[in-house]
Amino acid sequence: QVQLVESGGGSVQSGGSLRLSCAVSGFPYIRWCMGWFRQAPGKEREGVATIHSDGNTNYADSVKARFTISQDNANKILYLEMHSLKPEDSAMYYCAAKVSYVSSTFCSLSDRGFYWGQGTQVTVSS
């Protein structure tokens, strides 16, 4: 049974930083896409950043140069370093993982086909 457990959310002021973590267990695949997605009240879920098991990363334009996704492959832990946070970054952040069958190491920001965590809230005040 695949489980993803996020931690590290919280409340910060604008310009602050947070680090999210996600522990992935029961995930048997050796090639994957993992990522962070977020959903604000009244808005659709959107992709924030993804990373392939080979290390290739992909970011939403809105977070480029502010957020960094990384992973501990051996322990299957996913991270999201967030800096220069803005009120518009406030949302529930979800960790996600799926198998990558194709030879490409690119992971899109589409939310299709993932296993999901329960989410961790990030609130940025102005």
Reduce the DSSP state of residue 66 to 3 states and report it.
coil
Contact present, 46 and 38 (Cβ < 8 Å)? yes
What's the token pair of residue 62? Answer: 């809105």
Task: Report the candidate in 12, 6, 5, 47 with the shortest Cα–Cα distance to residue 122.
Answer: 12
What confidence score (pLDDT) does residue 103 get?
83
What band does 101 get if pLDDT is binned at 50, 70 and 90? Answer: confident
| Distance from C-alpha of 48 to C-alpha of 42, rounded to nearest angstrom | 17
Q: Which residues pair with 33 in a beta bridge?
A: 52, 98
Residue 3: pLDDT over 90: yes
What confidence score (pLDDT) does residue 102 get?
79
What's the token pair of residue 121? Answer: 């809230």
Contact present, 71 and 107 (Cβ < 8 Å)? no
What confidence score (pLDDT) does residue 16 get?
98
pLDDT tens-digit readout, 30-81: 999 999 999 999 999 999 999 999 999 999 999 999 999 999 999 999 999 9
> How many residues appear in the chain?
126
What band does 113 get if pLDDT is binned at 50, 70 and 90? Answer: very high
| Distance from C-alpha of 67 to C-alpha of 85, rounded to nearest angstrom | 9
